[in-house]
């Protein structure tokens, strides 16, 4: 924008100088004799008259030329203030270097002893409990005629268990016929059917302990029941001491874990 204004002013100034030159030439042509050189005062008067005739022209072109030019920026104009440089960014302080820890010498690898092959130990089977026990059970008919049951449990050499039971009849004087396949002796879930012969005990014969049957069952090392039931029965079907008795029964349960 400033350059355009300066160029416009220069064009106007050039036009003014051309007009002034033409005016001076016309005045010279009109005079037939050369006139003496005008003094400074007459020159000033003439300049003033030219200024009146053409007020658009400055009185002194040498002076007006400098006044018409716009002030230029830069170092050519001593009165112009210098343009301050752009502010620089402040220096960012850098973080101080952190001292690194010195390398700690590592211990040399200690050679490990080679693995010694261990002998594989096969798991041994748990040892079976050794049981050697016995017991007795009896019926209660309310008379002197009752059935007894003797039992025993023993551990065999191979670790198995043998359970035995014996049925007895306890009585005094007694008269009865034989009983065939009508009686049972049971160990756990294994029954034994037995028969009895005819009995004849007189009044003065005293007390009698008559063996009726014997039974045995073998259980494996891990087959012995924790609760083992034993029972025996005898079919009497008669009267003893004035009391009618049909079948005499005896039963017992053994806790084998407590033996």
192 occurs within a structural domain: yes
Q: How far apart are CA 16 and CA 65, in angstroms?
A: 10
30 occurs within a structural domain: no
End-to-end CA distance of the chain: 125
199 occurs within a structural domain: yes
Q: How far apart are CA 147 and CA 234, in angstroms?
A: 8
184 occurs within a structural domain: yes
pTM for the structure as a whole? 0.53
* pLDDT tens by residue, 14-36: 887 877 776 655 555 554 444 44
195 occurs within a structural domain: yes
Overall domain count for the chain: 1
What domain range is 245 assigned to? Answer: 134-258
7 occurs within a structural domain: no
Q: Return the residue matching tokens 């294994």.
A: 190
Residues (pLDDT < 70) of the chain are: 1-2, 22-93, 96, 98-99, 102, 104-105, 108, 111, 114, 116-117, 119-127
35 occurs within a structural domain: no
- Give the torsion through C-alpha atoms of 77, 80, 82, 86, to 10 deg: -120
CATH of the domain at 138: 2.60.40
Q: How far is CA 213 from CA 74, 97, 233, 248, in A?
A: 145, 106, 10, 14
């Amino acid at each position: 924008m400033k350059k355009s204004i300066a160029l416009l002013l220069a064009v106007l100034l050039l036009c003014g100088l051309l007009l002034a030159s033409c005016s001076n030439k016309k005045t010279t042509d009109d005079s037939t004799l050369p006139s003496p050189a005008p003094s400074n005062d007459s020159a000033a008067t003439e300049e003033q008259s030219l200024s009146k005739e053409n007020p658009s022209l400055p009185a002194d072109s040498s002076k007006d030329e400098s006044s018409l030019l716009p002030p230029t920026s830069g170092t050519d104009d001593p009165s112009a203030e210098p343009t301050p440089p752009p502010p620089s960014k402040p220096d960012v302080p850098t973080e101080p270097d952190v001292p690194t820890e010195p390398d700690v010498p590592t211990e040399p690898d200690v050679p490990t002893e080679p693995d010694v092959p261990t002998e594989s130990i096969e798991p041994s089977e748990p040892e079976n409990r050794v049981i050697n026990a016995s017991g007795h059970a009896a019926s209660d008919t309310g008379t002197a005629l009752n059935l007894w049951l003797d039992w025993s449990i023993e551990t065999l050499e191979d670790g198995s268990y043998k359970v035995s039971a014996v049925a007895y009849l306890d009585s005094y004087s007694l008269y009865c016929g034989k009983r065939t396949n009508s009686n049972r002796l049971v160990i756990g879930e294994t029954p034994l059917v037995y028969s009895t012969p005819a009995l004849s005990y007189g009044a003065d014969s005293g007390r009698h302990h008559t063996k009726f049957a014997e039974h045995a069952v073998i259980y494996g090392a891990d087959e012995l029941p924790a609760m083992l039931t034993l029972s025996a029965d005898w079919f009497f079907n008669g009267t003893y001491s004035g009391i009618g008795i049909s079948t005499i029964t005896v039963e017992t349960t053994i806790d084998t874990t407590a033996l």
